[in-house]
Amino acid sequence: MNKPTVINIGLCGLGTVGQGVWKHIERSLPELKARFGVKLELYRAAVKDPKKPRSVEIPASKLTTDALAVATDPHVHIVCELIGGTTLARDVTLAALKAGKIVVSANKALLCEHGVEIFAAAKKHGGHFLFEASVAGGIPIIKALREGLIANRFTLIYGILNGTCNYILTRMVKEGAPYAEILADAKRLGYAEADEALDVQGWDAAHKASILAYLAHGVWVKTDQMIVDGISRITQTDLKMAAQLGYCIKLLAVITRDFATNEISVRVHPTLLPKDAVLANVNSVFNAISVTGDVVGTTTYIGRGAGQDATASAVISDIADAITLLTAGKAVVACAPSENQLRGGAEAPKLAPLGHIRSRYYLRMTVKDEPGVLAQIATITAESSVSIATVIQMAAERPDAASLILTTHQSDERAIRHTLTDIAKLDCVLEPPLLLRIGDFQE
Ligand code: NDP
Ligand code: HSE
């Protein structure tokens, strides 16, 4: 193998993350050179609008609007795809892999949607695809799962995987600030996706959960095979009620595997966590992931989950792996157990039916404030064999109504969905009920 003496990096995208990568690589060029014995060059960058003001100084000669030209430039060794989305980003990624290059990506949506195609292209053409920044920002969770915890079979992985949602929920609790105002701040701070619906509706966390499930179990679970709920319907009433009941509300991704049945499940939903749980105390833009393996037990990882610097830190760790690949020829450990499973003859896990997933539930209903309402609702829960644990009634935001909050004992998704559908049909119920899960994780 011819070892390059200069390694050229091409950035496709120079927005929040791209500028962070540029800034921190530029700052640490001497250290990186000393560490790897090779010169690094920030060679080219593709953007949409070359005239846009940026926080880093880049010679105009290095800027282009042609991302594919950067991806296929024969002088570029490492291509960082930091554009986002699943169209141009996919073309850029596949073109670079087909040219045998190393692609470093922060793009969880792309990986979740096209992971099979991307890894196949990398394998076929001798390229590499590295994606530490795609999950949990600055937390090295990909490395932890792929390398540090390689001895383990994972029964439970759950965590806060979306910084924007955690930032919103935290400020709603601490300041009582309006949701829309906090979301606007999350955008300004560079935490939110270009399409913020991906964050607040739970899709971004679902993309990340899909990647973690792949790393842990070797199968791609698509978002339409998961439960995915977001935070956009959570109100001050829910946050206050949760606190009164001894909980915090966090948007969690939960990945389970039952090795007896060989079934896995993946879900994302706002969850009531007991106030003293570690993850209940992880606030603002921070993410946290609890990983339970059969050898190590439970390990927990906490750090900034979004934003320029934390994400750049993760991208640069992949760039360091890429340099090692280019200079020492060291392969990155196979990213998922699937290849090992095939060698070992183990069967890939199946998806557990979503209706079988069990939990305790929190239900908030806006109902007419009149006699007989509770009895109608209790009849429906009884018919679905959903057992009520607590009932609280309080004034609703609208004058003619009351908020009715139920918590249930353990039930399953099929029964609770049935209950919700029937409750929503009652004349006394004025808005679609809100369903939250109560998280009692046995690690
Ligand atoms: P931004 O929207 O800030 O940046 C996107 C960049 O892509 C911009 O520089 C933009 O150019 C460029 N771009 C867009 N369209 C084109 C095009 N047609 N041709 C060339 N360049 C184009 O996004 P982020 O930096 O926030 O996110 C990038 C990726 O990183 C996404 O996949 C995101 O999900 C992921 N990510 C983001 C994190 C964060 O905290 N922000 C954290 C972890 C992952 P221009 O500047 O001229 O508009
Ligand atoms: N929008 C994402 C978040 C960025 O808020 O978590 C990090 O992936």
Domain boundaries defined on the chain: 6-130, 143-304+344-351, 357-438
What's the pTM? 0.96
Tens-place pLDDT, residues 307-316: 999 999 999 9
Res 215 pLDDT > 50: yes
Question: What is residue 338's predicted lDDT score, i.e. its pLDDT?
Answer: 59
Cβ pair 408, 389 in contact under 8 A: yes
Res 114 pLDDT > 90: yes
Q: Closest-lying ligand to the alpha carbon of 84?
A: 1
Going by C-alpha positions, the residue among 153, 90, 102 that lies closest to residue 349 is 153
16 pocket-lining for ligand 1 (C-beta < 6 Å): yes
- 285's tokens: 């833009």
User: Which residue is listed with tokens 């001050």?
Assistant: 236
**pLDDT, the chain, mean:** 94
Going by C-alpha positions, the residue among 146, 148, 151 that lies closest to residue 130 is 146
Residue 49: phi, psi to the nearest 5?
-125, 100
Instruction: Give the Å distance between the CA of 66 and the centre of ligand 1.
Output: 14
Question: What is residue 428's predicted lDDT score, i.e. its pLDDT?
Answer: 97
Question: What is residue 386's predicted lDDT score, i.e. its pLDDT?
Answer: 97
How many angstroms separate the CA atoms of 423 and 438, rounded?
20
Give mean pLDDT, residues 297-321. Answer: 97
Task: Kindly name the residue from 208, 240, 275, 425 that is annotated as catalytic.
Answer: 208
Question: What is residue 443's predicted lDDT score, i.e. its pLDDT?
Answer: 61
Instruction: Give the Å distance between the CA of 250 and the centre of ligand 2.
Output: 15
Considering the domain 143-304+344-351, what is its CATH architecture? 2-Layer Sandwich (3.30)
70 pocket-lining for ligand 1 (C-beta < 6 Å): no
Q: Which residues' Cβ are closer than 6 Å to ligand 2? A: 137, 162-164, 191-193, 199, 204, 305-306
Instruction: Give the Å distance between the CA of 194 and the centre of ligand 1.
Output: 8
Read off the pLDDT band of 342 (50, 70, 90): very low
Going by C-alpha positions, the residue among 87, 91, 98 that lies closest to residue 121 is 98
Q: Closest-lying ligand to the alpha carbon of 17?
A: 1
Percent of the chain with pLDDT over 90: 91
CATH number assigned to the domain covering 357-438: 3.30.70.260
312 pocket-lining for ligand 1 (C-beta < 6 Å): no
Instruction: Give the Å distance between the CA of 96 and the centre of ligand 1.
Output: 18
Q: Return the top range by mean pLDDT from 148-157, 328-337, 394-403.
A: 148-157
Tens-place pLDDT, residues 268-280: 999 999 999 999 9
Res 171 pLDDT > 50: yes
Read off the pLDDT band of 393 (50, 70, 90): very high
Cβ pair 82, 70 in contact under 8 A: no
User: Which of 14, 22, 82 is the pocket-test mutation for ligand 1 (most atoms within 8 Å of CB)?
Assistant: 82
First to last CA, the chain: 46
Res 238 pLDDT > 90: yes
Task: Specify whether 208 is catalytic.
Answer: yes
Homologous superfamily of 6-130 in CATH?
A: NAD(P)-binding Rossmann-like Domain (3.40.50.720)
What 3 state SS string does the chain have? CCCCCEEEEEEECCCHHHHHHHHHHHHCHHHHHHHHCCEEEEEEEECCCCCCCCCCCCCHHHEECCHHHHHHCCCCCEEEECCCCCCHHHHHHHHHHHCCCEEEECCHHHHHHHHHHHHHHHHHHCCEEECHHHCCCCCCHHHHHHHHCCCCCEEEEEEECCHHHHHHHHHHHHHCCCHHHHHHHHHHCCCCCCCCHHHHCCHHHHHHHHHHHHHHHCCCCCHHHCEECCCCCCCHHHHHHHHHHCEEEEEEEEEEEECCCCEEEEEEEEEEEECCCHHHHCCCCEEEEEEEECCCEEEEEEEECCCHHHHHHHHHHHHHHHHHHHHHCCCCCCCCHHHHHHHHCCCCCEECCHHHCEEEEEEEEEEECCCCHHHHHHHHHHHCCCCEEEEEEEECCCCCEEEEEEEECCEEHHHHHHHHHHHHHCCCECCCCEEEEECCCCC
Sheet holding 78-81, edge to edge: 63-64, 39-46, 6-12, 78-81, 102-105, 128-130
Question: What is residue 330's predicted lDDT score, i.e. its pLDDT?
Answer: 73
- Residue 185 burial (C-beta neighbours within 10 Å; 0-12, 13-18, 19+): middle
Give mean pLDDT, residues 12-19. Answer: 98
Give mean pLDDT, residues 19-44. Answer: 96
Give mean pLDDT, residues 111-127. Answer: 95
How many angstroms separate the CA atoms of 37 and 328, rounded?
11
Question: What is residue 4's predicted lDDT score, i.e. its pLDDT?
Answer: 87
Tens-place pLDDT, residues 180-196: 999 999 999 999 999 99
Give mean pLDDT, residues 243-256. Answer: 97
Instruction: Give the Å distance between the CA of 373 and the centre of ligand 1.
Output: 50
Comparing 6-130 with 357-438, is the CATH topology the same?
no
Question: What is residue 396's predicted lDDT score, i.e. its pLDDT?
Answer: 82
Give mean pLDDT, residues 28-56. Answer: 96
Going by C-alpha positions, the residue among 404, 418, 413 that lies closest to residue 437 is 413
